[in-house]
Amino acid sequence: MAEIKCPMCSRPNPAELDVCQFCEARLKPLTDELSRSQPPIHAGEEPTEKTTSELEPVLPQWLREVRQQARDSAGEEPEQAPAEEEAPPEESADLLAGLQSQAKDDEEIPDWLADLRGESAQTAPEESSLEGDDLASLRNMLGEETSSVEENETGTLPGWISDLGAGETKTESGEGKLSAFLTDRATEEPAYAEAQPAASSMDFEWDADFESDSNLQADSTEDESPIDTGLPAWLQGADEESKGESESDLPDWMRAEEPAQATSPLESEEISQTVSSESDTPDWSALLGEEITESTPQEAAQSAVEGGMPDWLASLSEESTQAAPQQEDAQPAVESGLPDWLASLDEEGTETPPQQEVAQPAVEGESPDWLTSLGEETYQAPSQEEAQLAAESDMPDWLSSKSEGATKPEEFPEEVEAPALITEEAPQEASVPPAFVDDEGEPLSTDDVEALFAAEMPDWLSGTGKPAEGKASAESAETEEGDLSLAELPSWVQAMRPVESVISDTGEGTATTDQYMEETGPLAGLRGVLPAVPGVGPSSIPKAYSIKLQASEDQQSGASMLEQMLASEVNPKPIATQPIMLSQRFLRWIIAIVLLVVVGGSVFTGTQLNSMPFGVSPETKAFLEDYVQGNLPADAPVLVIFDYDAALAGELEAAAAPLIDYMILQKAPRLSLISSTPTGPGLAEQFMRLENTQASVYYQAGGQFVNLGYLPGGAAGVLAFATNPVTTKPTSINGENAWETPVLKGVSHLSDFAVIILLTDDVETARIWIEQTETARKDARFLVVSSAQSGPMILPYLQSGQVDAMLTGLDGGAPIEQFNGGRPGTARRYWDAYGLGLLAALAMITFGSLWSLVSGWRERRREQGEV
């Protein structure tokens, strides 16, 4: 068998069911049927008007059945259709007047609602199914008028209800309101009214009288159909019949009310007008609130009792004053568009816990006892199965409960339980006449009532609970004391109730007692809710955890320390500003002045305080004495290399001039000048023009010496010159072919030079010339005249024999000059300045070092003392 899984409780259900048998949730969406019955709706399409009958496939099964019953009953009473058509215009004060006005514009009004408002007979058959639902609930409410119910199983009301007629009559006790409601019902179900003429003859003739006396029903009380007054057809039909019998069949208590009603036509009119201004306020409920003040409740009840008024009606009289504020409360709800009976349901739901047991006295204010008893009687008759069906068919809880515990019609006076929809006041303790009576006026048996209401009732009509007969009486007694809200509430109203009220009603005979009901949380009161698995959801209030970091003192101190360290890394350290050292500049000036004075004064004054040195180095001595004087041929080619800077020209000139002058004096060699620096040729020229030198006197360019100029390329140039000097340096500084001049006659290789004298102040230059020309110069002597700063670095070459002799600075040239007889005298001139300058520097260094040592020591001690 095909099964459908419930979307709520996820339990399998038979496919043919529309609602879940466990949680009563819809198994099949409403749109599903619509989509199958109609094409899908596209955007931009205009909605097509539909009639209610076209939507019948969408309706639930129970509703369809009721509608079918209504159609059948409508066919039996076609004459009531015109009356129903005429009714709507004058039903301004009808119970569901507002609904009817809406129904005019909207064809999709539920049938049962339309019937309530007294629509035309055309719509009546279509809405018969809906009316059947309503009737089913009413059956439960009305009790055990089964004899009439049997005849009207399709959904007709018993005769006593139909005798009520137009329900817009107003009485001082408020029965008119109920009549109006019943009148509406009668208009919708004319079959009901017709089928039960006799049942209402005795017991509800008073309603007919009330209706006839009502100004609102002035035009309709006599001839008009129940539609005018808002009663459904079945009630209107009954009303007409009851009218015919009303005069003769009115009980004494109802006759006693007539004068009261007759004496207050104006009041009734006023009230009716007031009610009519409220579109949705039923007449009988509105009038109930207005007129009750004009009659003493006790007097009314007493008179009603004396006159044979049913207890429920008497209770209405008595409690009318009590219901006045409640009625006022109901008015806002009514004004908002809710029917009064629904409004009373709301009040009842909020004020009192709902009582599903029909036996509980639930009549409040507007609910007559007869209706309450009807509910009891009706509920007793149906079996448990029928009660379940009623529950499944969305029957109101209060009606469905009544179906289980309805009392018999014979016991109506004692088993009073007003249905929830019309209960606001405590039910009255009185013997209520049976709701259903047969044609002979005899109350219907329970079975008959059951048969009458065999159709499925909606949930709002079908209540829960199973009041027993004894409970009914007990509850009626309780209601006399003033308890409220013992009626069954619809499930949707129950859902809005507080949790406590829901929990208290769990064991009261609901149709789904076996289902799990949630007791806590937002789903409290709902059945079929998936129970929370232990551990899945929070079973208790979660423990509050502090968001503050839980750190111990040590951890906090460590963190703060780390933070300080990081901050110190980021922050730039302030640079300790040193004090402006004004002494530095002053000291420099002092030193400069001292040196200038000493050196300059010695030079300019020509002092000769210091003696000239006499001793030369062995190497130099050997070169001078052995080679120059001995082996050096006269007019030998000598290469002189000027590779020093202009800054040290004075030192080198002073050191080399005695040597060259000595060689010129001894052997008058042919001098070839060359330089690997750009300023060398110029320095060479200057050297040859030194004062007091032989060269400056006797040597001429091109005749005795030739200046070959600048040799580029550094080491490569030296190598090239050493390999082939002719091709490397073919011309002189004058542009002439130097190798064809008499100076370089017979010289084509480096080895052709007798002596190679290198004048340099740079170790690197000396190294290049020494290393690159070593193989090329072969037997040529190589002398180096260096400055005092590079002497120690070139000494290894001397010590290794790569250099034949070396003169270092002024200290090396002065002996040569002495050896040369003091010629040219340059060394002598610089010797005292040289000596005194050294001594001055020595003194300043010594004194300054000592001063710095002491001052530094004192400053460090001061800094240490400050720390």
Partner 1 sequence: MRILAAGVAIASGLLVLLGYFIPLEMLLEIRLLLVQWAIILAAVAVLVGVLNLLGVHWHKIRTRQKGTAYSILLIVSLFASAILGIVLGTNNPTLDFFLEAIIIPTEAALMALLAVTLVYASARLLRRRADLMTFIFLGVVIVILLAAAPLPFGKIPGTDFVEWLLRDNFAAAGSRGILIGVALGALTTGLRVLFGIDRPYGGN
The only residue of 5, 625, 851, 862 in contact with partner 1, by rule CB under 8 A: 851
- Between 409 and 837, name the residue whose CB sits nearer to partner 1: 837
- Between 296 and 679, name the residue whose CB sits nearer to partner 1: 679
- Between 253 and 644, name the residue whose CB sits nearer to partner 1: 644
Q: How many residues bind partner 1 (CB under 8 A)?
A: 71
Residue type, 330: A
- Between 89 and 792, name the residue whose CB sits nearer to partner 1: 792
Q: Tell which residue, 198, 196, 201, has the closest CA to residue 153.
A: 196
Helix (H) or strand (E) holding 781: strand 781-786
CA gap 63, 133 in Å, rounded: 6
733 binds partner 1 (CB under 8 A): yes
30 binds partner 1 (CB under 8 A): no
Strand-strand pairing, 3-5 and 12-14:
antiparallel
853 binds partner 1 (CB under 8 A): yes
N residues, the chain: 867
Map the footprint of partner 1 across residues 481-540, applying CB under 8 A: none
CB of 649 to partner 1, least distance (A): 6
749 binds partner 1 (CB under 8 A): no
| Phi, psi dihedral angles at 230 (to 5 degrees) | 95, -5
CA gap 17, 8 in Å, rounded: 15
50 binds partner 1 (CB under 8 A): no
Give exposure, 664-693, as e/b (b: 16+ Cβ within 10 Å). beebebbbbbbbbbebbbbbbeebbebeeb
**498: number of Cβ within 10 Å:** 13
727 binds partner 1 (CB under 8 A): yes
What SS3 state is found at 457?
coil
Map the footprint of partner 1 across residues 794-813, applying CB under 8 A: 794-796, 799, 811
Q: Which stretch binds partner 1 (CB under 8 A): 20-28, 473-481, 737-745, 838-846?
A: 838-846
Tokens 């055990």 sit at which residue?
144
CB of 676 to partner 1, least distance (A): 10
The only residue of 308, 441, 613, 825 in contact with partner 1, by rule CB under 8 A: 613
- Between 523 and 701, name the residue whose CB sits nearer to partner 1: 701
**618: number of Cβ within 10 Å:** 9
CA gap 795, 803 in Å, rounded: 9
The only residue of 51, 482, 716, 862 in contact with partner 1, by rule CB under 8 A: 716
The only residue of 666, 686, 692, 751 in contact with partner 1, by rule CB under 8 A: 686
CA gap 582, 589 in Å, rounded: 11
Q: Is 475 in contact with 359 (CB distance < 8 Å)?
A: yes
835 binds partner 1 (CB under 8 A): yes
Map the footprint of partner 1 across residues 692-711, applying CB under 8 A: 701, 707, 709
- Between 260 and 719, name the residue whose CB sits nearer to partner 1: 719
442 binds partner 1 (CB under 8 A): no
The only residue of 244, 308, 441, 714 in contact with partner 1, by rule CB under 8 A: 714
846 binds partner 1 (CB under 8 A): yes
Sign of CA dihedral 734, 738, 742, 744: positive
String of contacts with partner 1 for each residue 755-794, x by CB under 8 A = ------------x--------------------x---xxx
- Between 540 and 578, name the residue whose CB sits nearer to partner 1: 578
Map the footprint of partner 1 across residues 70-129, applying CB under 8 A: none
Instruction: Identify the burial level of 605 via C-beta atoms within 10 angstroms of its C-beta, where 0-12 means exposed, 13-18 middle and 19 or more buried.
Output: exposed
CA 390 centroid distance within chain: 47
CB of 832 to partner 1, least distance (A): 8
- Between 556 and 775, name the residue whose CB sits nearer to partner 1: 775
The only residue of 296, 431, 610, 666 in contact with partner 1, by rule CB under 8 A: 610
Q: Is 720 in contact with 745 (CB distance < 8 Å)?
A: no
Map the footprint of partner 1 across residues 574-603, applying CB under 8 A: 584, 587-588, 591-592, 595
Cis geometry, peptide bond prior to residue 824 (ω within 30 degrees of 0): yes
355 binds partner 1 (CB under 8 A): no
826 binds partner 1 (CB under 8 A): no
CA gap 664, 659 in Å, rounded: 9
Map the footprint of partner 1 across residues 632-671, applying CB under 8 A: 645-650
CA gap 750, 754 in Å, rounded: 9
Sign of CA dihedral 634, 640, 646, 649: negative
CB of 866 to partner 1, least distance (A): 18
CB of 802 to partner 1, least distance (A): 11
Q: What is the dihedral of CA 291, 292, 295, 301, to 10 degrees?
A: 130
CA gap 619, 41 in Å, rounded: 124
Instruction: Identify the burial level of 799 via C-beta atoms within 10 angstroms of its C-beta, where 0-12 means exposed, 13-18 middle and 19 or more buried.
Output: exposed
The only residue of 530, 561, 609, 697 in contact with partner 1, by rule CB under 8 A: 609
Residue type, 666: Q
- Between 17 and 595, name the residue whose CB sits nearer to partner 1: 595
734 binds partner 1 (CB under 8 A): yes
- Between 110 and 837, name the residue whose CB sits nearer to partner 1: 837
